[in-house]
Amino acid sequence: MTASPPADGAPRTVRALPAAFSFEPWTTALVMIDMQRDFIEPGGFGESLGNDVGHLAQVVEPAKALVAWARMRGLLIVHTRECHRPDLSDCPPAKRLRGAPSTRIGDPGPMGRILIDGEAGADFVPGLEPLPGEVEIVKPGKGAFYNTSLTHVLVSRGITHLIFGGVTTEVCVQTTMREANDRGYECLLVEEATGSYFPEFRDATLAMVRAQGGIVGWTASLSDLVRV
């Protein structure tokens, strides 16, 4: 017989690595990183860099389940999008010019200008849009704290714990989690709800996060989390 979950607001503990992770829903936020068409669908930024975006398709349904659980539990939900202003004034030339992509940030593509706010590609994949009352953070960098209001959002709501999902694990998810860890947040990464164009990088990131007694934070499976 499965035990019924504790009443709303009660502290919860989920099986995790390197040890159990405890949190209170009212002081915990879900941070869903960059579940955007530009990274997940063909024709966007991710594919322009030569990546096989098919690797990220499997993240969408677990990410939806994670968001649904967070809504049901009453967590603050923060959705981030990585993109730039149409005039590219917040895009460092080093970011735009590096490498040999098929199209660069700001160039036209099948989903509009690549990685530009307001274009279809920079939008959330269907089913992962914020609901009214949830927070949307538009970020120019890989980390969600750089040049955004995220610190203010979290401090003003008394948030101490962060649960992470999104893409890509070793780039924007890991960068943001490390930024959060340095700011004193207790961070948990949900294994099935994050993905990479390089599955081995995802696995390595999960291992790095929880190594050395949780040097960056914890990892847990979605199935364990949605039970608490």
Q: Is 69 in the site for ligand C5J (CB under 6 A)?
A: no
User: Which residue among 63, 138, 172, 188 contacts ligand C5J (CB under 6 A)?
Assistant: 172
Stretch 124-163 residues interacting with ligand C5J (CB under 6 A): 142
CB 34, min distance to ligand C5J, A: 4
50 contacts 33 by C-beta, under 8 angstroms: no
DSSP state of 49: T
The span of 4-12, 122-130, 143-151, 166-174 binding ligand C5J (CB under 6 A) equals: 166-174
* Residue 172 appears among annotated catalytic residues: yes
Catalytic residue of the set 38, 91, 123, 172: 172
Q: Is 39 in the site for ligand C5J (CB under 6 A)?
A: yes
Q: Is 167 in the site for ligand C5J (CB under 6 A)?
A: yes
Report how many residues bind ligand C5J under the rule CB under 6 A. Answer: 8
Residue whose CB is less far from ligand C5J, 138 or 167: 167
Q: Is 34 in the site for ligand C5J (CB under 6 A)?
A: yes
DSSP letter string, 144-182: SSTTSSHHHHHHHTT--EEEEEEE-IIIIIHHHHHHHHH
CB 8, min distance to ligand C5J, A: 32
Give catalytic residues, as residue numbers.
34, 139, 172
